[in-house]
Structure 1
Amino acid sequence: MMGNARSATSLTAALAGGALLLTACGGGTDTSAADESSSGDGSQAQGSLTVWVDADRAEVLQDAAADFTDESGIDVELVQKDFAEIRDQFVSQVPTGEGPDIAVGAHDWLGTLVTNGVAAPIELGDTAGDYQQVAVDAWTYEGQTYGLPYSMENIALLRNSELAPEAPGSYDEMISMGEESGAEYPFVVGLDPNEADPYHLYPFQTSFGADVFGTDDAGAYDPEELTIGDAGGVEFASWLAEQGEAEVLNTSIDGDLVLETFSAGDSPFLLTGPWNVPAAQEAGIDVQVDPIPAPGDEPAQPFVGVQGFFLSAKSENVVAATTFLTDYVGSAEVQTALYETGGRAPALTESFDAAVESDEIVAGFGEVGAEAVPMPSIPEMGAVWEHWGTAEAAVIDGEGDPEDLWTRMAEDIQSSIDE
């Protein structure tokens, strides 16, 4: 059984507590618990849940869905979708009543989902404390939690231990170690000639105290407080220009080339995510995962992306759907299985701790991710990326005064937000 000990008890209480409408919003069943759930144990409840998942998650959830059905009498239909298409299809289909009760997705979809009125808050209750705090924070929007998290993904510093036996304590130390190693490049990170890569460069930016948006008292991003153009951002831009002039940062070296460089032993350090670790290991590199060294006075914090499952605002099976998520998908067995399939640090602390103990690569990324900051999920973030990346590329390539380029970027972002 892939559920846990609390599953049957809490499910019984939930379904026996009142007249639940157990109708999947797209499933065509019209049966209420008040009419058809037989007795107090809820074991004969009728109805179904529809869950949109990608292929990998579908395979993992099959056993959990079967357990839930056995214990509740509620069918769970797992519908496979292309992950990249789920958000837009969810937004378009939920208002028509054709969408699912539950869907898998990324936390930075929240702004779109909530502003379109298609996602509903989920009551994690006491189980909220069972997850890594950054994972719950990522799925929180305007003070309400909208998803049950299952994995976390972020970048960190990969180190070739043969070229650099010890982790650097600062950015300058990393560059010195890289130069002393005799490798062709002291450090590499994939960039783009037109848009640089704000995602990969963000931890360096945060070390100068330069966020994108301010935060309110609860720690949520404030769309009305654009802070990227503040003094810390200008200082970061000056540093970027210096790195570009020194050719430490090079917009002509993209993500594929830096992976080839690191895998060939031509650089001891690569700033990247877990997706590039297998290729480096297959090339024979002894890979270590370290915290990102800070060029500024504050910690270098990357963005963390958190995947999870969220509820439809049109679902008529909210209690059953919530129970399936919190007690089955949220069990250590399922969270661990999802980690084993996806290779990303689990969101559930019990599974996270087990993964960290058994896998040093996951441990390295997980420890960095636990101190990372959630990717902003507010809709205004959509106005940031293009201006941000274009300005970074221009600064690195020396196409103007760094302060002027950065200040103009902030003004352009604000104008786009105001439109």
Structure 2
Amino acid sequence: MKRFLSFVMTFVLVLSAFVGCSKPTSNQSQDINQQGELKPEEGATIVVWESQGAEGDFIKYAAQEFEKRYGIKVKFEPVESTQTVNKLQQDGPAGVGADIIAAPHDQLGKMVAAGLIQPNHNPERFKKDFLESAVQGVTYEGEVYGYPIGIETYALFYNKDIIKQPPKTFEEIIEFAKKYNNPKEKKYALMWNVGDPYYSYSFLSAFGGYVFGNNGTNKDDIGLNNEGAIEGAKYFKSLRNIYDVKQKDANYQFMSGQFENNKAAMIINGPWAVAGYKKAKVNFGVAPLPTMNGKQPISFSGVRGLYLSSFTKYPNAAKLFLDFVTSDEMLLKRFEMTGQIPPVKSLMDKPEIKDDPIVAGFMAQAQYSTPMPSIPQMSLVWEPLGAAFSAIWDGKMEPKEALDKAVQTIKDAIATQK
């Protein structure tokens, strides 16, 4: 609850004026040049792994600007941010991994335990100038590791040309679907990636389900099959009546494509999708997730960060790029390119951020969000929980049976780590 309240308070204060941005410094004074910046290694070339799309486009833009200023080449290689950790675990020891990777914060514990990343080289700058929740998200056991570049949660996107005002309840969506749905034309009132536990977790949380107890830190207290979670899974299953598509087909690509083509009235998605929908000229808004039987869904919140590989051959050059890419100028440009909220205090009062209705929609949902657990055991949750949602949606298993199986699988996997 403390972590949740911390995240809420950060977003409540997010429109307050913050000033001051300290110039990055290094703890390694012997590696500082006369300009107070890190001295890069001779012949350094940096490789960055980040998702393709708007996020990758930003890295490419930052790389060009960095090379202009410092003469150091930065190569962008497209790797989905959810896959970078596993790839670094394989490629890093072989000397062919990236110098810097992007990753969601729930992977932090796993990265630290495996020795894949180095601590943040200037944590005091981030503690001073960045939002507290963002710094907490990239901190593990009291030490700051990551370089936060965005705070994100998912919310309800709605097509303003189809539905003028966002619904407050799922019951409204169900009623609207009775008139709007046309399966032959693949038109649906609501679509989302039903088999992805990142999104579908909100159905469990609305009724009292949770991943790990004690604010996501107690691996021995799993709440994914408690009474509330089972009730939420039943509600999730009932929505097959308004989105009658098999799980394998009710995926992200189908959902996003139908929204771009004005076939989906509403979808559940995150800020990473904003740039694409604007480019597709969809007339859309963003609002908090509607209630379910009067209960408010709690979405996962995440801190998107960059991390310095333990295997880099050019640590100074990589740190210099990390300082550069997390500057106010670059993160404001990233917001412009991706629509993702920059976690910097001094940027929150910028008109292009505080007056943006899309940002306001995500901030409204953020007060009903909880950070994804970042302990190493979180990596063991996604696959069995996703399998449970898939089995429930396709009618292969009843909610209690599916969730009990998922939790047992998670417990067994945790036991093998001991």
Q: TM-score, normalised by structure 2?
A: 0.74
- The whole-number CA distance in structure 1 between the counterparts of 2:41 and 2:280 is 52
Aligned partners of 2:271 and 2:338 also within 8 Å:
no
- The whole-number CA distance in structure 1 between the counterparts of 2:288 and 2:360 is 11
1:198 has 2:193 as partner:
no
| Structure 2 gap segments, 5+ residues each | 1-19, 50-55
Relative contact order (C-alpha < 8 Å, sep 6+): which is higher? 2
Q: 2:17 matched to which residue of 1?
A: none
Paired residues, number: 379
- The whole-number CA distance in structure 2 between the counterparts of 1:45 and 1:395 is 55
Aligned partners of 2:38 and 2:316 also within 8 Å:
no
Q: Secondary structure at the match of 2:201?
A: helix
Aligned partners of 1:162 and 1:286 also within 8 Å:
yes
- The whole-number CA distance in structure 2 between the counterparts of 1:340 and 1:159 is 21
Match of 1:111 among 92, 97, 109: 109
Q: 2:340 matched to which residue of 1?
A: 344
- The whole-number CA distance in structure 1 between the counterparts of 2:171 and 2:87 is 46
Q: Secondary structure at the match of 2:402?
A: helix
- The whole-number CA distance in structure 1 between the counterparts of 2:198 and 2:255 is 16
Instruction: Name the aligned partner's letter for residue 389 of structure 1.
Output: G
| Structure 1 gap segments, 5+ residues each | 23-32, 70-74
Structure 1 segment 65-84 matched on structure 2, within 5 A: 67=69, 69=70, 76-84=72-80
Instruction: Name the aligned partner's letter for residue 117 of structure 2.
Output: A
- The whole-number CA distance in structure 2 between the counterparts of 1:183 and 1:340 is 34
Q: 1:28 matched to which residue of 2?
A: none
Instruction: State the Cα distance separating 1:265 from its structure 2 match.
Output: 4.5
1:329 has 2:325 as partner:
yes
1:240 has 2:242 as partner:
no
Aligned partners of 1:164 and 1:177 also within 8 Å:
no
- The whole-number CA distance in structure 2 between the counterparts of 1:284 and 1:401 is 41
Instruction: State the Cα distance separating 1:228 from its structure 2 match.
Output: 1.0
Larger Rg: 1
Q: 1:158 matched to which residue of 2?
A: 157
Cα separation, partners in 2 of 1:190 and 1:98, compared to 1, 3 Å: closer
Instruction: Name the aligned partner's letter for residue 372 of structure 1.
Output: S
Structure 1 segment 154-233 matched on structure 2, within 5 A: 154-179=153-178, 182-184=180-182, 187-191=189-193, 196-215=195-214, 219-233=215-229
Instruction: State the Cα distance separating 1:205 from its structure 2 match.
Output: 1.9
Aligned partners of 1:95 and 1:118 also within 8 Å:
no
RMSD between superposed Cα atoms in Å? 3.8
- The whole-number CA distance in structure 2 between the counterparts of 1:317 and 1:282 is 37
Cα separation, partners in 2 of 1:105 and 1:94, compared to 1, 3 Å: same
Q: 2:289 matched to which residue of 1?
A: 292
Q: Secondary structure at the match of 2:109?
A: helix
Match of 1:121 among 119, 122, 134: 119
Quote the sequence identity (%).
26
Structure 1 segment 7-406 matched on structure 2, within 5 A: 7=23, 11=25, 16=29, 20=30, 22=31, 47=41, 51-54=46-49, 56=57, 57-64=59-66, 67=69, 69=70, 76-84=72-80, 86-88=84-86, 90-92=88-90, 102-122=100-120, 123-179=122-178, 182-184=180-182, 187-191=189-193, 196-215=195-214, 219-244=215-240, 246-248=241-243, 250-251=245-246, 253-255=249-251, 256-263=253-260, 265-274=262-271, 276-277=273-274, 285-295=282-292, 298-313=295-310, 325-326=322-323, 328-354=324-350, 355-357=352-354, 359-369=356-366, 371-406=368-403
Q: TM-score, normalised by structure 1?
A: 0.74
Aligned partners of 1:157 and 1:290 also within 8 Å:
yes
Instruction: Name the aligned partner's letter for residue 111 of structure 2.
Output: L
Q: 1:418 matched to which residue of 2?
A: 415
- The whole-number CA distance in structure 2 between the counterparts of 1:14 and 1:374 is 30
Instruction: State the Cα distance separating 1:157 from its structure 2 match.
Output: 0.8
Aligned partners of 2:156 and 2:286 also within 8 Å:
yes
Cα separation, partners in 2 of 1:350 and 1:168, compared to 1, 3 Å: farther
Cα separation, partners in 2 of 1:389 and 1:102, compared to 1, 3 Å: closer
Instruction: Name the aligned partner's letter for residue 391 of structure 2.
Output: A
What per-residue deviation string (whole Å, max 9, x for no partner) do you get for residues 154-186 of structure 1? 32211122332222222223333444x645466
Aligned partners of 2:63 and 2:73 also within 8 Å:
no
